[in-house]
Structure 1
Amino acid sequence: ALKRLDLRDPAALFETHGAEEIRGLERQVRAEIEHKKEELRQMVGERYRDLIEAADTIGQMRRCAVGLVDAVKATDQYCARLRQAGSAAPRPPRAQQFCAFPCSHSSHPRRSSTAWLPRSSCS
């Protein structure tokens, strides 16, 4: 049986082993190369799916952050109107409607959590 170390010195390989042994080794090495290629294809495919999922999650986070900023701005404006009015409280702004999207990312600590967005942020 040929050893991996034999592959490092082709001259020694041909001096110590016959043509049939070398052809067998070639078939074995080619089969291993094909196996490694397939493993690499699968790994790249998995990573690509992970990347797409991460991009979708980032988009959801962006929409959530925009909605949160809008809600904070509305609260700030309402507080400013309250300060201006003194003791006479102005009408509160219309109630904000919210919608939810599930968070089921595999690395998320709570797989069944829900994120809430202002309705205007949902798409």
Structure 2
Amino acid sequence: MTVVCNECGSKSPKYRFKCCLLQFCSHNCYKAHSCASKESSTPSCSSSQGALKSEGAGEVPSGTKLTDEQLDILKSDSTLRDYLRDEKLKLVLVDIASSEDPMERAQRYIREDRFKEFVSYLLTLIERF
């Protein structure tokens, strides 16, 4: 797994943006970064290369997509919304989503109590489907 700078593509990023947790390698890349989270409450990048370097990586296999009804159930769940208001948990989720290997990154966080609770709760919701 090769980690690259989100801005210039260098293979030696040493730092992370506080706004979105994507990686960068230099002061110039830091200055070049443009993050939409400065204007909104949820961390998301609008940088030149985006949060996910996806060439099919962001695609979900058709068998795992949720129906509109299932999405409505998730949207209306107050406990899930409470979890998603947690700023630290949001940063963890952004870090996982922006990782080149999200499964490996999630394994790192599963030992943390809040993330473990969130995953367990989400699984109980999804099992109802």
| TM-score, shorter chain, exceeding 0.5 | no
Greater helix share, structure number: 1
TM-score (norm 2): 0.17
Larger radius of gyration: 1
More strand by share: 1
